Structure 1
Amino acid sequence: MFTIATWNINSVRLREPLVARLLSEEAPDILCLQEIKSPVEKMPLQGFADLGYRHVVARGQKGYNGVAILSRLPIEDAGDRDYASLGHARHVAARLENGVTIHNFYVPAGGDIPDRAQNEKFGQKLDFLTEMRDAFHADKPQKSIMVGDLNIAPREDDVWSHKQLLKIVSHTPIEVEHLGAAQDAGKWVDITRKDIPSGLLYSWWSYRAKDWDAADKGRRLDHIWATPDIAGAGHGSRILRPVRGWQQPSDHVPVFASFDL
């Protein structure tokens, strides 16, 4: 069995102590980070190695984006893809010794206006998701786990108010449709919702709220999916809400799942 976690850290250098705390207290076998905002060579990798996470596959860039996979288990680099040709570090893959491939994604947020004619970033987000769909159709992934900040809360109970967020980027029908098409193309199983099939569930709370905990206007933007051949081995899903209250937190919290493989 191994446990995997995904977390948009919003600067791995700024929040190195939080990553170290999570690794020490929760000890996932694999931690996938998004929005590391750092070139790989400037990541604080020695501190993570000292905690037992000596294996790293990452793609970074200065000040923006960036994805990394930290592991206590041996992993090999399985490549990356520049979805929608944005020139961004938004995807990286690694392979475990048991043959399981882990894909770590950071889907574009999409800006504030859900209209590609008025907002180039929203168009880029839709194009990114379309290329994910096409890649999954072509590659027919097997024995794979996909995690990351997908920047979409697809279900009505993945947001604090379905009605009020229908025209808000991350929960608009067109985004949900595009994400669903990508999921269907790879026949991906949403492990979190397989384990927790009903009820409000969030992994992100805005910095704009004066008291995020009391307001509780969250969204489930962070996901763990698996291909059907291994989805049955996934279990133990949980979202670490208390992490949002740590000092100088990310606006996202870690999402966990375990696999008996």
Structure 2
Amino acid sequence: MPFTVATWNINSVRLRASLVERLLREEAPDVLCLQECKCPIEKLPLEIFHALGYLHVVARGQKGYNGVAILSRLPIQDVGEQDFATLGHARHVAARLENGVTIHNFYVPAGGDIPDRELNVKFGQKLDYLTGMRDWFHAERPEKAILVGDLNIAPREDDVWSHKQLLKIVSHTPVEVEHLADVQDSGNWVDITRQDIPSGQLYSWWSYRAADWDAADKGRRLDHIWATQDIANAGHSSRILRPVRGWDQPSDHAPVFASFDL
């Protein structure tokens, strides 16, 4: 069963419901995973999704911040969530397709501005969250699984606009990259985006602070699609929809897509 998965940090699904609707109409992924929905489950604009054929929704929400949702045209089963680092945040939810593939949708903590856990509680929470992910996947040994989301780390030198200038900036520091690599190793995850696009600068996020984000092009690849090794070879057609960052009142993230023949 071939299917396409997309992941997008929407930065308020209610504020940008029309953008989600546009993406679903124009690109029609079979599964769309959203992060930073910023609303409780009962406030999700489900009528918009249902009208477009996305009748299956698995979500976890909070008022005003965090929140993750999986929208699907294919039947899915809710298979729970994990509260890594016991933060009490809606940052993970998982669903299983009828073909047995489990999709994990993550919103990893951003980590604040100072890359020092002694000076910045949020940075420590981020590292602890990643450690929790590592330990869980090491224990669970996932198979036939896809992991997507805003992982808030750009791991490779060509995942940022300037490796040298961002080495001490949260999202690209060596300690974060090491923690993310540990998560990847613990679950035998394969970075599908980089499997398909192995070289070259690649970004999925551009700051709101830039007067002209497109011209400045100081981006980072914070949004990811991974798959376990047993199905990684079925992944293909990876792409990042950069033009979406230029839509009216956009999220600062662009959607990331991949297809799987399973």
Per the normalisation by structure 2, the TM-score is: 0.99
Q: CA deviation at 1:178?
A: 0.2
Q: Give the drift of 1:42.
A: 0.5
For 2:64, the equivalent position in structure 1 comes to 63
String of CA shifts for 1:98-147, please: whole Å, max 9, x gaps: 00000000000000000000000000000000000000100000000000
Q: Distance in 1 between matches of 2:15 and 2:191?
A: 31
Counting matched residue pairs gives 261
Q: CA deviation at 1:151?
A: 0.0
Secondary structure, aligned partner of 2:50? helix
Partner of 1:189: 190
Cα distance in structure 2, aligned partners of 1:42 and 1:132: 28
1:175 aligns with 2:176: yes
2:20 and 2:38 map into 1 onto residues whose CA distance is 14
The 5-angstrom pairing of residues 124-139 of structure 1 reads 124-139=125-140
CA RMSD of aligned residues (A): 0.2
- Provide the rounded CA distance (Å) in 2 between the counterparts of 1:83 and 1:33: 19
**Aligned equivalent of 2:250:** 249
Alignment partner of 1:95 is 2:96? yes
Per the TM alignment, residue 237 of structure 1 is displaced from its structure 2 partner at its CA by 0.1
Q: Counterpart of 2:106? A: 105
SS state at 1:64 partner: coil
Counterpart-to-counterpart distance in 2, 1:10 and 1:131 = 24
2:167 pairs with 1:146 = no
Return the alpha-carbon distance in structure 2 between the equivalents of residues 112 and 211 of structure 1: 22
Q: CA deviation at 1:60?
A: 0.3
Partner SS, residue 170 of structure 1:
coil
Letter in 2 for 1:99: G
Unaligned runs of 5+ in 1: none
- 2:5 maps to 4
| 1:218 shift after superposition | 0.1
Provide the rounded CA distance (Å) in 2 between the counterparts of 1:133 and 1:42. 32
Q: Distance between the aligned counterparts of 2:188 and 2:139, measured in 1?
A: 12
1:27 maps to 2:28: yes
* CA–CA distance in structure 2, aligned partners of residues 48 and 25 of structure 1: 13
The amino acid that maps onto 2:203 is Y
Runs of 4+ deviating beyond 3 Å: none
What letter is aligned with 2:18?
Answer: P
1:45 aligns with 2:46: yes
